[in-house]
Structure 1
């Protein structure tokens, strides 16, 4: 436990906490959006279990992060998955189906874990760099991020109840992150480096695509009004 007396340990831990605060905002949006249709008691369970599950997977991913992100096409695949998740959450805005509580809770937790895993690629790289191979510091820093994400998710969830526009903005954020992630994939890094205009255009298109596709699919789910009898 002598490492706890080292100033370097506390400096690095502060860096990890700051990284999690800055980069976990979009993760908190996903958690809140995935939980918004559940009853209040199940919302708390989805946020807690989903966040803890996501942190455990993030911890595992962090150990392999430096190697994984050098693989070509990984971020492109992650971006496509993130678009799909964003459209699904956006489509849920008009979903009137009353699903069973257990299946809804399980689906919310699954969405939280998958989305957090996809969106945490940049986060884990920053945390791994700050930890500099110090395993206790790495674990400690990621454990601390659990209450940060849970608190952020709970706050956003309350705001969504009062301001439904946040749902649309959150879905658009997922599309933006997906586009930004795709442009940083090693497979196209050399080409993308010279395409300065696309670094903002592709994320913007991703955001518009998620919102438009989600709203279109939601409108198709709405039942048609019954024909009124002739008078």
Structure 2
């Protein structure tokens, strides 16, 4: 534990924690969207299970660094590309994100199908819960591999990386509840969040094919879109309050 007395180690911890939080934004958005259709108690449980799985996977990967680094070695050649296990995981995870987000967009626009409407609320909730937990675990694997591979080399001590991951996942859990509530209260933000997931999925697939897109560009675009949507939500709320005030006076 000598690193505790080292200013460089603390600087690495702060930097690594910040990076893990930024990389965890994708995970939080995905989980927050998935739990929208669940009752509050099941939504909370799904978030707990999903983020707990993310924490366990990240820590397990940190203690298997030699195996994890080996994921970058080519194992398959096709279409003129040499793919490693990391590439295949990113391509598969990115494809899953694109397909899931597109399906959710279609369901949002078209509404629930007749079969879903005929199911009892309890049956639908139980079915959705186990299905969503499975999807959360799958995407946790993708984001965990990407996150930890990015973190390798930023700190000399595994203890620092584990501490950063624990802090980041804790902040992700705190943020996931308010984010889910905000998306539920403002339905237009759901489509924006789904568009983010499609964008993230495309960048993961591109990265798997060796085309690296700097994440700063992606997060800058997301921040700009969120700012515009926040202004739109604020303007809509103000118009609603004014209309209600006029009605009360009349």
Is TM > 0.5 for Structure 1 vs Structure 2? yes
- Give the aligned partner of residue 56 of structure 2: 56
Whether the 8 Å contact between 2:18 and 2:168 is mirrored in structure 1 is no
Identify the structure with the greater helix proportion: 2
- Give the aligned partner of residue 69 of structure 2: 66
**Partners of 2:134 and 2:100 in 1: CA distance:** 11
Shift of 1:92: 5.0
**Partners of 2:47 and 2:73 in 1: CA distance:** 31
**Partners of 1:165 and 1:88 in 2: CA distance:** 16
Could you tell me the TM-score, scaled by structure 1's length? 0.71
CA-to-aligned-CA distance 1:17-53 (integer Å, 9 cap, x gap): 1102222111111010111111111111111111011
Q: Which runs of 5+ in 2 are unaligned?
A: 75-82, 219-250
- Give the aligned partner of residue 95 of structure 2: 80
Name the Cα RMSD after superposition: 2.5
Q: Matched residue of 1:130: which SS? A: coil
Could you tell me the TM-score, scaled by structure 2's length? 0.67
- Give the aligned partner of residue 112 of structure 1: 136
Go from structure 1 to structure 2 and tell me whether the alpha carbon gap of 1:112 and 1:92 turns closer, same or farther (over 3 Å shift).
farther
The one of 133, 136, 140 aligned to 2:159: 136
Task: Number of aligned residue pairs: give it.
Answer: 190
Go from structure 1 to structure 2 and tell me whether the alpha carbon gap of 1:149 and 1:92 turns closer, same or farther (over 3 Å shift).
farther
- Give the aligned partner of residue 218 of structure 1: none
Shift of 1:139: 1.6
- Give the aligned partner of residue 95 of structure 1: 112
Q: Select between 56-65 and 76-85 the one with higher mean Cα deviation.
A: 56-65
**Partners of 1:89 and 1:57 in 2: CA distance:** 26
Over alpha carbons, which structure has the higher Rg? 2
